[in-house]
Amino acid sequence: MADSSYLDWQSGKTLLECFDHLLTSSIGSDVTFLVGENKIRIPAHKLVLFSRSPVFYAMFEGPLAEQGEITIPDISEQIFRLFLRYLYTDDTILTEDNVVMILCAARKYCVDILVSRCEEFLKKTLSTENVCHYLEQAHLFMIDSLTKSCLELIADSPTVVLQSAVFLDLCPSCVASVTGYNALNAVESDVYKTVIAWGKAECRRNDLEETPENIREVLGDILYTVRFLVMNCDLFEKEVSPDKILPADDIANIRKYHQQLESKDISACKLNNSERKDASLKKVWRCEVIVLGDCDSGTASVSFTVNDHVNLHGFGSFYSKGDNTVDVVIYEDDKVAYKADNITRMKTDSDCIGKVWLGREDLVQIKPGKVYTITEHTHSCRWCCGRPIDDEMIQFKLTLITFRSSRVALPKDVKRNKGQIPYLLLS
């Protein structure tokens, strides 16, 4: 009896099942692709391809239609076969390892539905565990939207990602894109530690001794994605300066910048003095007019209440002459909720106002029904001050903040319209 198995692919099968057999068996194929570096021969059917892709239609039916075998050097055999399977059957297997490459193939040949499917897969599966892998893929295939999504995720969960072993395997461009990201929600000293750890790993990959000179060499400009100029002065002296990875001239410039209150022109060097923009933190301004000249004594204070829970991360501080540190006490009613001495003001974009940062672990939880009072003291007079805005009640998201005169006794020259802390930094 004659073998009739060659007919079974048609009997009782759906259209998609039949097309899948056409693809895998090559029956009736009329075009051959040479795919990947090794030019693997993959046969296909023009009718199916140009019915699914305008690029294939132009390739086969346009005025410059290609003849003979077609070379596809920029897609691997495995990815091209998965891509063809989608064109034939409306189905393919997406995984974390292949989705970016299939997405690139779908974009190249303008298969919009597959593009959307890949993007949806990425959105659902992107996590702190695979974000470095996706970031590398996005960089390799120049997918800006995926790069943006990866950076936003890392910015929201920096500790997990920056301390992961896989981060140390990123390429230099990807490392710089993360550590230079303006919205990275990380402590600058942690960014520095991550950069140095990557530099040491890069030395090992290149069989170099882990000396300060070699680490500096492999890092190149990645080192300057760390915002040394806004780093806490004490941390800089304890953690950065002793490493001797930064050039001596840069260390000297950073110390000068930290010590002097006036603006310093740093355009001639690579140091970055801009703050990272944490999208979750907002400044709630108490003062809108800044008055230059000798103002109040070194003590400033303000009290406030809220009608809903918020977190206090820090506050603005008017600069004072000859001293860039402040002593801070924050009261909850009459109880001390936070106390620290000699906090160095962080440089900001303003020539008049620095930022007092409580620290990510030392934030103060502000509760409704309590009166909170911030007092800060510096040992020199301030050379600028502010006047409060007229409205003592200010909206922050859905929370109403009511400012009031300080409950703490202040020097006589500190009046309601002077010496006030200019803004609160809340989330």
Segment 56-84, tens digit of pLDDT: 999 988 777 777 899 999 999 999 999 99
Across 326-347, average pLDDT: 87
What does each C-alpha distance from 394 to 111, 212, 230, 398 come to in angstroms?
Answer: 51, 50, 28, 10
Looking at the domain assignment, is residue 106 inside a domain?
yes
Residues 171, 218, single domain; the answer is: yes
What are the tens digits of pLDDT across the range 31-47? Answer: 999 999 999 999 999 99
Cα(354)–Cα(357) distance, rounded to whole angstroms? Answer: 10
Across 7-28, average pLDDT: 81
Strands 40-44 and 31-35, sheet pairing: antiparallel
What values do phi and psi take at 28, rounded to 5? 70, 15
What are the tens digits of pLDDT across the range 355-368? Answer: 888 865 578 999 99
Residues 300, 402, single domain; the answer is: yes
The pLDDT of residue 267 is 56
pLDDT at 279 over 80: no
Strands 372-377 and 70-72, sheet pairing: unpaired
CATH code assigned at 39: 3.30.710.10
CATH code assigned at 413: 2.60.120.820
Cα(252)–Cα(241) distance, rounded to whole angstroms? Answer: 10
Q: What's the total number of domains in the chain?
A: 3
Looking at the domain assignment, is residue 357 inside a domain?
yes
By percentage, how much of the chain surpasses pLDDT 70?
Answer: 85
pLDDT at 141 over 90: no
Residues 101, 185, single domain; the answer is: no
pTM, two decimals, is 0.64
Residues 359, 405, single domain; the answer is: yes
The pLDDT of residue 358 is 83
Looking at the domain assignment, is residue 134 inside a domain?
no
Residue that wins the pLDDT comparison between 19 and 103: 103
Task: Domain of residue 314: give its range.
Answer: 282-426
What does each C-alpha distance from 218 to 221, 228, 230, 384 come to in angstroms?
Answer: 9, 19, 24, 44
Structure-derived torsion over alpha carbons of residues 56, 61, 66, 67, reported in degrees to the nearest 10: 120
Reported residue count of the chain is 427
Query: Using a CB cutoff of 8 Å and minimum separation of 24, what contacts does 77-80 make?
Result: 77/35, 77/36, 77/38, 77/40, 77/42, 79/105, 80/33, 80/35, 80/36, 80/42, 80/105
Looking at the domain assignment, is residue 150 inside a domain?
no
What are the tens digits of pLDDT across the range 194-225? Answer: 999 999 999 999 999 999 999 999 999 999 99
